[in-house]
């Protein structure tokens, strides 16, 4: 019974945090599967839509890869990006975001990802 109450409490806290992020204009609570990945923006509508590189974000991606090659932990990378006040589309930098970016392959401006 205590386990059930704990699960409900955790779910309620997670929902409250997601709603708070949504009210701040960012975070996973507002993202949809159609949002472009970090480093790219969607240009056009419907079938005509395509992804175009965002230079400022691609520079951040290069910095993330460089820090990773220097063997900084994912947490340290996220902390450094936050300290340097680099944009993460209105959300705080996190280990999860850094991990997602490092897992993606960017080849000649085209995206291919391993999931």
Q: What is the pLDDT along the chain (115 residues), one digit of tens a residue?
A: 556 666 566 666 666 665 555 444 444 444 455 688 899 999 988 888 899 999 999 999 999 999 999 999 999 999 999 999 988 888 899 999 999 999 886 554 455 555 4
pLDDT of amino acid 111: 55
pTM here is 0.62
Specify the 3-state DSSP secondary structure of 108: coil
78: its two tokens: 């996220």
Contact 45/24 with Cβ under 8 angstroms? no
Residue 73 phi, psi (nearest 5) = -70, 160
Nearest to 101 by CA among 29, 37, 36: 37
Distance CA 105, CA 115 (A): 11
């Amino acid at each position: 019974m205590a386990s059930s109450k704990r699960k409900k409490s955790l779910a309620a806290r997670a929902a409250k945090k997601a709603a708070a992020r949504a009210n701040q204009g960012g975070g996973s609570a507002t993202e949809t599967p159609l949002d472009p990945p970090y480093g790219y923006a969607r240009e056009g509508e419907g079938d005509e839509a395509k992804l175009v590189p965002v230079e400022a974000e691609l520079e951040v991606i290069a910095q993330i890869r460089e820090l990773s090659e220097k063997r900084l932990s994912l947490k340290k990378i996220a902390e450094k990006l936050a300290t340097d006040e680099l944009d993460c589309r209105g959300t705080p930098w996190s280990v999860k975001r850094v991990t997602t970016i490092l897992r993606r392959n960017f080849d000649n401006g085209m995206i291919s990802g391993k999931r």
